[in-house]
Amino acid sequence: MIEFYKVITFSVIIFLAACKGGQEKPMVPQPVSTEDSFNLSFDHDSLIYEEETHFAHMQQLTNGGDNAEAYWSFDDRKLTFQASNPEWGAECDQIFIYDLTSKKDLDHRPPLLSTGKGRTTCSFFMPGNEQVIFASTHLDNDACPPVPERSPGGLYVWPIYSSFDIFISDLDGTIKKQLTHEPGYDAEATLSPAGDKIVFTSTRSGDLELYTMDVDGQNVQQITDELGYDGGAFFSPDGTKLVFRASRPKSEEEKSEYLGLLEQNLVQPTNMELYICNVDGTDMKQITQLGNANWAPYFHPSGEKIIFSSNHKSKRGFPFNLFMINIDGTGLTQITHDDAFDSFPMFSYDGRYLAFSSNRNNGGTRSTNLFIAEWKD
């Protein structure tokens, strides 16, 4: 999925030293014993802000670079994530695997799973935990595709690379299958907890719409058909519903601007709300009307709530924090209280832990790192 985090980290660097989201030196973990199937020394409190009452313990996994979209394996023992880190040989986003079953320090370099060519995004474990799905531009070019320049006062836009296709790789980095072959953008793939369906975003209709397909790439079904960017979709715990972010240009001017950017393979993501529908696209409901950018949604293990990232309280575009809302749009609650950036939340399949990305504890740098928190309802 295309991310806010690189732009946001640049924007907040000027004030990080003065806020709780960017201490001058990294905090020192205070180990707490755990009997989980993975092996982490959870930090009891120094990574958690006082208002973050849903977190019992927290562990930082990475330290440096841009690390995002960490998603659990079905057995809750590994994470797959994307990272841009020149020290790891990743000049732009590549896919890495983090094994949680053995202790690692913050200097640990996880193994590369993607080819190291082109740009990748949106990795997710396949059933069986031995393969990962992700999107990549490597068939088009070995080099990282260009990032759109933003002129002073210009629009903040995301590139929609038409060279993205969706692939399956084993954990040794061998591409096993290409799932999409249509012209245009195919990316943002995630799997149902049942392991039988994939949801993804594609421009094959001429607009950015959601589609589902079977895990072998067959039986492709279009889910959304309204003008605007539909993306970042995830399944409910029982696999019957989808939650996703969407822009919905209404006026003729907004529609013209959206379509003009789309012709250039660009999209402006600064106004997005969250929607829920059945997995076949029926019973479509908008669940947020907050303004600004509401995105990176994921179902609470109960299936009755959504956790997501939002800057709706922000007047300058940041900070982004995690919030939770009932699936009927009531009960909005703030979960994190960072002064910079928190996003990409995913609950472990057993519901005990939350993985997310954050600018906290980055020593005043621009880095976005991965964290795991023990969850308290």
pLDDT digits (tens, 9 = 90+) for 109-131: 999 999 999 999 999 999 999 99
Cα angle value 76/82/88 (rounded, 5°): 110
Instruction: Report whether pLDDT(19) > 60.
Output: no
> Cα separation of 152 and 219, whole Å?
45
Average pLDDT, the chain: 89
Q: Count of CB atoms within 10 A of residue 226's CB?
A: 12
pLDDT value for 46:
86
The amino acid at residue 128 is G
pLDDT band for position 17 (cuts 50, 70, 90): very low
Q: Count of CB atoms within 10 A of residue 106's CB?
A: 13
For 51-68, the pLDDT digits (tens) are 999 999 999 999 999 999
- DSSP states of 205-248 as a string? TSS-EEEEEETTS-S-EE---SSS-EEEEEE-TTSSEEEEEE--
Cα angle value 49/51/56 (rounded, 5°): 65
Cα angle value 127/210/303 (rounded, 5°): 60
For 153-204, the pLDDT digits (tens) are 677 899 999 999 999 999 999 999 999 999 999 999 999 999 999 999 999 9
> Cα separation of 237 and 255, whole Å?
34
For 293-343, the pLDDT digits (tens) are 999 999 999 999 999 999 999 887 789 999 999 999 999 999 999 999 999
Instruction: List, edge to edge, every strand of the sheet that includes 78-85.
Output: 66-72, 78-85, 90-99
pLDDT value for 45:
67
- What is the DSSP pairing of strand 273-278 with strand 221-222? unpaired
Instruction: List, edge to edge, every strand of the sheet that includes 321-326.
Output: 294-299, 305-310, 321-326, 333-334
Contact 241, 228 (CB under 8 A): no
Of 205, 215, 210, give the one whose Cα is nearest residue 179.
Answer: 215
Instruction: Report whether pLDDT(375) > 80.
Output: yes
pLDDT value for 32:
37
Phi, psi dihedral angles at 5 (to 5 degrees)? -65, -30
> Cα separation of 245 and 308, whole Å?
10
CA within 13 Å, CB half, 54: 18
> Cα separation of 288 and 232, whole Å?
15
pLDDT band for position 13 (cuts 50, 70, 90): very low
Instruction: Report whether pLDDT(232) > 80.
Output: yes
The amino acid at residue 297 is P
Contact 75, 68 (CB under 8 A): no
Residue 298 three-state SS: strand
Q: What residues form DSSP beta bridges with 185? A: none
- DSSP states of 300-363 as a string? -TTSSEEEEEE-TT-SSS--BEEEEEETTS---EE----SSBEEEEEE-TTSSEEEEEE-TTST
pLDDT value for 314:
87
For 136-152, the pLDDT digits (tens) are 999 999 999 999 887 55
DSSP classification of residue 293: B
Exposure class string for 291-327: b at 16+ Cβ within 10 A, else e:
ebbbbbbbbbeeeebbbbbbbbeeeebbbbbbbbbeb
CATH 3.40.50.300 matches 5-375: no
What is the average pLDDT across 56-81? 96
pLDDT value for 317:
79
Instruction: Report whether pLDDT(26) > 50.
Output: no
Structure tokens at 72: 């659990």
pLDDT value for 152:
59
Task: Tell me the whole-structure pTM to 2 decimals.
Answer: 0.90
> Cα separation of 52 and 177, whole Å?
42
Of 314, 268, 267, give the one whose Cα is nearest residue 291.
Answer: 314
Where exactly are the structural domains of the chain?
Answer: 5-375
